[in-house]
Amino acid sequence: MGFGVTRLRLEEYLHAAADDLTDWERGMSNAPQSAKRKLEGSWQHWHQILFEYGHIFGAENAERLRDRIRGRRRELLEERKRQRGQELRLPEGKVWFEATAEWQEVPQNAICAAGLEYRFDMQTGRNFARLSL
């Protein structure tokens, strides 16, 4: 098998895996934290493969793919936040906080799920949360 064929197969795998993970993520608004942790673990595995792909075929190619996928995930996250807020019928001015494996700032008007890991920045007075891994 030639070098070019290997590259195409790895790119196809990364695209197909990202599509599958995105589809899985689309239906996660009411999923338990354990399912969300498994999904995040799968995304971490995808990023590890992408990292190796970047070593072999160039970091620029890997970063372009990573940026496209991050954009799709941000859109899904916003969609899930809106959907969950509507399902919970949150009061005016409140928003649902959708946690991921990465630390995110928690808005002051956010409602958070139980079981998250929290961190408070004493210098800035900001709260952060993520899925408890």
Per-residue pLDDT tens digits for 89-114: 999 999 999 998 899 999 999 999 88
The pLDDT of residue 27 is 83
Q: What is the mean pLDDT of residues 78-90?
A: 90
Structurally, how many domains does the chain consist of?
Answer: 1
Q: Which of 40, 39, 66 is nearest to 51 (CA)?
A: 66
Q: Could you tell me the two tokens for 21?
A: 């993970």
Q: What is the pLDDT of residues 40-66, one digit of tens each?
A: 999 999 999 999 999 988 999 999 999
- How far apart CA 120 and CA 106 sit, in angstroms, is 10
Domain that holds residue 126: 3-131
Contact between residue 46 and residue 17 where contact means Cβ atoms under 8 Å apart? yes
Distances (CA, A) of 85 to 73, 81, 102, 112: 18, 6, 21, 11
Q: State pTM to two decimals.
A: 0.79
